[in-house]
Amino acid sequence: MSASPKAPLRRLLRARRRALTGHRRAHAERRIVLAIARLLQQRASPHIAAYLPFDGEVDLRPLIARHPKRFWLPIIQRNGSLRFRSARGLRSGHRHGARNRFGIVEPRASAMSTAHGMDIILLPLVGFDRQGHRLGMGAGFYDKTLSKLRRPRPVLIGIAFACQQVNQLPHDPWDIPLDAIITEHGLRRFPLSPGTRHELLAHEM
């Protein structure tokens, strides 16, 4: 499917996400961070890919700052895919890292890993639906990265506000759906894809 049906929906949901401000946003982000923290307490998952916020995305920086050894942050490669550096790189001599083409800080002077080296990938997104399909910003960085994952692959958990949900998203047959979504309402699991490290999303979560 071409990107055209997604464009107006992407504009709508980005505006909806940015419109969440002040106390409502702060309250929602605290609940999301708490839900992620509970997940980390219940499961041994030492390598977690996260992100730094852009364009109104959920801000995970308070959680990353508390657990820098567990979190890895994306680095955009020249071929448009992502690799990940340890968040400890933001606390090294280059404390503020380097800004990429979008102005997002990327860690420097820290270990590098691939997406396959992660146990969990926390994905920012523009929208999601009831089937676990996600709508990204349109650059395709995560799509290109996820398409190369081998089995068993990391658990894919979308991070979003509840207002970003729609009934159904346009999607392509090759799109990789989420295994779960975390909003201010908590964690919701979707049917796990074959080859997922499913023990990280056991029923007691």
- Report the CATH number at residue 39: 3.40.50.10420
What mean pLDDT do residues 141-155 have?
90
By residue range, what is the domain housing residue 139? 6-201
pLDDT band at 9 (very low <50, low <70, confident <90, very high): very high
Q: Indicate whether 38 belongs to any domain.
A: yes
Q: How confident is the model at residue 2 (pLDDT cuts 50, 70, 90)?
A: very low
**Residue 159: its pLDDT value, please?**
98
1 inside domain: no
Distance (Å) of CA 52 to CA 1, 48, 87, 104, 138: 29, 13, 10, 7, 17
CB atoms within 10 A of CB 94: 13
Cα separations (Å) of 97 from 49, 63, 157?
A: 17, 18, 25
| Backbone torsions φ then ψ of 16, nearest 5 degrees | -65, -40
Structural domain contains residue 121: yes
Residue 187 lies in a domain: yes
Q: In 3-state terms, the chain is what percent helix, strand and coil (to 5)?
A: 30, 20, 50
Residue 19 lies in a domain: yes
Specify if 125 maps to a domain. yes
The residues, any chain, with a CB within 8 Å of residue 156's CB and separated by 6 or more, are 121, 123, 146, 176, 177, 178, 179, 180, 196
- Residue 39 placed within a domain: yes
pTM of the model: 0.88
Euclidean distance between CA atoms 105 and 52, whole angstroms: 7
In the predicted structure, residue 64 carries a pLDDT above the cut 90: yes
In a domain, 138, yes or no: yes
pLDDT of residue 82: 94
- Domains in the chain, number: 1
